[in-house]
Structure 1
Amino acid sequence: MAGNPRNGRPYRRLCAWLRAQRLPCWWCGHNIGYELDARHPLSFTLDHEHPLSKGGDLLDPANARAAHRRCNSSRGNRTTRPKAALQRASRRW
């Protein structure tokens, strides 16, 4: 395969499918700004639950998750969530 597989039609189709679902960020649980510019920290990115560097499949829909750009970048290739993210309430009280 020549070139970057993330520029290919199957990857763009997977991104469009995930974007259409308008899910919250799987990492932090907050809403994603789907209308924001792609460079914005709270914009949508496709994240892989099982990191590609650890054998995850690039085009597997079961491995694809909606995430904020900031959450995706800060997560790196970790597979476990920090305790603060697990204990976060769904609403501010």
Structure 2
Amino acid sequence: MEIAATSTEYVRVTAKATAGGSPVSPSAPPMFAFQPTSATGNPAVEDWLTGEWVTPHARILIGPNGGAVTLEAGEYRVWLAWTAGAEAPVYRTPGTITVY
């Protein structure tokens, strides 16, 4: 995804949780983290931002006009975490976001 630094828009990630082949409803909002591609390791606790579910997507509004975060120009990896039943998966999503 490419986005202008002055744009405000949703980042969407498809996320599905299943247990024994049956869908599991997430019990909390999805959490997002945006790390520069140069960063190593998992996001720190303070990096996580609260998104929302619009099934089957997790989404978060980013940008200068009411977004949860405004990203500076650069390339970022997107991380997604959520709680579903006893599981709390944390994923680094495929691809990157380029902010120009």
- TM-score category of the 2 structures, normalised to the smaller one: under 0.3
More contact order relative to length (CA 8 Å, sep ≥ 6): 2
* Higher-strand-fraction structure: 2
* Higher-helix-fraction structure: 1
TM-score scaled by length of structure 2: 0.25
TM-score scaled by length of structure 1: 0.27
